[in-house]
Amino acid sequence: MASERLYIDLLVENGGLVLDAGAQPVTTDNRHSIGQDIKHAIMESGLARALIGERSPTLRADVRTQIRILVEQDTRIEPGTADVREETADRYLLTARTYEFGDLEVFL
């Protein structure tokens, strides 16, 4: 697994940039950056909202499949490794494996 910073991004939590003590944006890298990119892609696609709002178990399974397909289109993710599990009615765990940085977990 690579140890250099290949992917660098600004750290976003709760919809806003995280700032350090000097009011400068905090950065994140590699696996966390990939996870953050994937989470934002899912949110921007509207699939997270569809997943949370859907009552039918069959249709929720369909949305989870759409999310897996979206995630695996990212060239940094190993095909066939994405999975979405329902933890609670409004919380889902996405897992996948990156080529360079191993497993990642993202909560939706």
With respect to residue 31, please indicate whether it lies within any of the assigned structural domains: yes
Query: Is residue 53 included in any domain, yes or no?
Result: yes
Residue 83 bridge partners (DSSP): 95
Residue 28 lies in domain: 8-107
The pTM assigned to this predicted structure is 0.85
Residues 33/98, Cβ–Cβ less than 8 Å = no
- Tokens representing 91 are 């919380």
Tens digit of each residue's pLDDT (9 = 90 or more) over 30-64: 999 999 999 999 999 999 999 888 889 899 999 99
Residue environment code for 33-51, b if the CB has 16+ CB neighbours within 10 A, otherwise e: bbbbebbebbeeeebbeeb
What is the domain count for the chain?
A: 1
Q: Enter the tokens of residue 8.
A: 């660098």
Q: Is residue 51 part of a domain?
A: yes
pLDDT higher than threshold 60 for residue 79: yes
Query: Strand, coil or helix: what is 66?
Result: helix
At 16 the pLDDT is 87
1 is a domain residue = no
